[in-house]
Amino acid sequence: MSSNNYHKARKRVRGKKGFYYHLAVYLSVSLFLIAINLLTSPWDPWASYPILGWGLVLFFHYLGAIGIPFLNLDKNWEEREIEREVQKMERKKSLSAPDQEDHLQLDEKLELKEFKKLREEWDDQEFV
């Protein structure tokens, strides 16, 4: 295994570990807030606001550390997609390039034919 892959893998594992710690703290604090809320003012669900806000932050932490489960949108995915797009462009260019050259040559031939035709109609005396 290359050292570059090892460092990338280590960074990803540390990110996942950080997420799991964050999740544990979130659950602990959420339970504590719910308990305080139920003991002090059960008719007012004030604990739900910080729990929901922190839950949103936790969700984004999850996306950053682990990613979207059904989509592998990591850096390697981006590089693969860029490579695919470059290949598509090169294929398109290789298919269309001869056609464009043929059109240019055809246009040049038409212009020359038209010019020669007009040239035959002109009289050199008219330009003097």
Query: Which residue ranges make up each domain of the chain?
Result: 1-71, 72-122
Among 2-6, 11-15, 104-108, the least confident range: 104-108
Give pTM, 2 decimals: 0.54
Looking at per-residue pLDDT, the higher value among 71 and 85 belongs to: 85
- CA distances to 18, 29, 36, 37 from 50, in Å: 20, 10, 13, 12
Digit-coded pLDDT (tens) for 41-51: 999 999 999 99
Give the whole-number percent of the chain exceeding pLDDT 90: 38
**Sorting pLDDT into bands at 50, 70 and 90, what band is 108?**
low
**28: which 2 tokens?**
């602990």
Q: Where are the alpha helices (DSSP H) in the chain?
A: 3-40, 48-65, 75-121
Euclidean distance between CA atoms 57 and 26, whole angstroms: 10
